[in-house]
């Protein structure tokens, strides 16, 4: 597994995008090397690790690879077999996905952007290092520099555009097994001279096993860039496509099974193809009455928080009675069932 990025940022594995930003903001401010002149070596190491953790967990594709394969998988040692690896492995059997951490100072500068409380300020306490803002001369500025920066990460004079939401329809198979979806987007960005220009990008969305309808995946500030406005977040909302066989009920899967009266009163076997391609042969040796339900534990949907656990498969029987019987058939049934009540 290597480094536990969730532990580095002091967050849970189900952390939201907003809480992830808050955790990075707090720890990056605390451990920036120029704020810690007396233990600069330790601060540099922590600052680098905090930035790397945020870079991974804030990117849906990197996060899903990390959650499945850990740090080793991110950095080129991911196995090429299994349901999740196929999207990243190349034809030679070696992983085609390799994560190279960005410079921690670049991540810091990009995160705070135009609202960076330390950029563009007067005084020798603030300078730049290779074009990136720093807290030079071992000083960290005054309390006022913090007060001008509110908790949402935006300055009071710069408004952020409203989030843009788009549905992401997924099959039940994709939500059961997990997958990586590629979404092509078009947006406008500002060039160095402030002129708007169109660009196209392909976003990778790591859909985790067990995700439900309504789950949101956020790509921060991927909306159109406009002068004096922070770009909107682009949000994809999971939508669930109807399935021909299964209906989802929370973490359970429900199957409606029609059965004749003859089969309901005798031994009967149901054959079902599961969402991960297995065939289940389910014997029903009990008497099946109208409204009867058969429950198969651990054959339902994976739990998003604990994907090794699963809900139940529930088979709901619909017993079909004959529309009519002859006098002879009725008499035969009476003889067969006499004394069985």
pLDDT tens digits, residue range 240-282?
999 999 999 999 999 999 999 989 988 889 999 999 999 999 9
pLDDT of residue 91: 37
pLDDT of residue 240: 96
For residue 8 the two structure tokens come to: 């580095």
> With helix as H, strand as E and coil as C, how does the chain read?
CCCCHHHHCCCCCCCCHHHHHHHHHHHHHHHCHHHCHHHHHHHHHHHHHHHHHHHHHCCHHHHHHHHHHHHHHHHHHCCCCCCCHHHCECCCCCECCCCCCCCHHHHHHHHHHHHCCCCCCCCCCCEEECCEEECCCCCCCCHHHHHCCCCCCCCCCCEECCCEEEEEEECHHHHHHCEEEEEEEEEEEECCCCCEEEEEEEEEEEECCCCCCCCEEEECCCCCCECCEECCCEEEEEEECCCCCEEEECCEEEEEEEEEHHHHCCCEEEEEECCCCCEEEEEECCCCCCCCEEEECCCCCECCCCCCCECCEEEEEEEECCCCCCHHHHHHHHHHHCCCC
pLDDT of residue 101: 82
pLDDT in tens, the chain (341 residues): 578 999 999 999 888 888 999 999 899 888 888 888 888 888 899 999 999 999 999 988 888 888 888 887 777 654 444 433 333 343 333 344 567 788 888 888 878 664 444 444 333 333 444 444 444 333 333 333 333 344 344 444 578 889 999 999 999 999 999 999 999 999 998 887 788 899 999 999 999 999 999 999 999 889 998 888 889 999 999 999 999 999 999 999 999 999 999 899 888 899 999 999 999 999 999 999 989 999 999 999 999 888 889 999 999 999 999 888 899 988 888 888 876 65
What's the pTM value of the predicted model, to 2 decimals?
A: 0.54
């Amino acid at each position: 597994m290597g480094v536990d990025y969730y532990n580095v940022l002091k967050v849970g594995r189900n952390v939201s995008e907003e809480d992830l930003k808050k955790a990075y903001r707090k720890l990056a401010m605390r451990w920036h090397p120029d704020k810690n002149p007396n233990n600069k070596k330790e601060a540099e190491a922590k600052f680098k690790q905090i930035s790397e953790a945020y870079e991974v967990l804030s990117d849906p594709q990197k996060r899903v690879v990390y959650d499945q394969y850990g740090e080793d998988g991110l950095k080129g040692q991911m196995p090429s077999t299994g349901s999740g690896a196929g999207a990243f492995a190349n034809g030679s059997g070696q992983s085609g996905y390799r994560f190279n951490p960005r410079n921690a100072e670049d991540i810091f500068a990009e995160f705070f952007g135009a609202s960076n409380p330390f950029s563009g300020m007067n005084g020798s306490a603030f300078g730049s290092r290779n074009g990136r803002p720093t807290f030079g001369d071992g000083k960290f500025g005054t309390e006022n520099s913090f007060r001008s920066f509110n908790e949402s990460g935006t300055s009071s004079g710069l408004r952020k555009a409203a989030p843009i939401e788009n549905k992401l329809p997924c099959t039940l198979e994709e939500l059961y097994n997990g997958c990586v979806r590629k979404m092509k987007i078009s947006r406008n960005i500002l060039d160095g001279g402030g002129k708007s220009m169109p660009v196209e990008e392909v976003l990778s969305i790591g859909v985790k096993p067990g995700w439900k309808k309504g789950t949101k995946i956020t790509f921060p500030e991927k909306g159109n860039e406009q002068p004096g406005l922070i770009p909107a977040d682009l949000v994809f909302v999971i939508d669930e496509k109807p399935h021909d066989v299964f209906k989802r009920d929370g973490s359970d899967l429900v199957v409606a099974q029609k059965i004749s009266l003859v089969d309901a009163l005798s031994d009967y076997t149901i054959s079902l193809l599961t969402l991960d391609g297995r065939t289940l042969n389910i014997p029903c040796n009990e008497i099946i009455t109208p409204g009867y339900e058969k429950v198969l534990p651990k054959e339902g949907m994976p739990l998003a928080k604990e994907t090794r656990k699963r809900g139940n498969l529930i088979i709901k029987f619909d017993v079909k009675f004959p529309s009519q019987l002859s006098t002879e058939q009725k008499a035969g049934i009476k003889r067969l069932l006499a004394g069985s009540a």
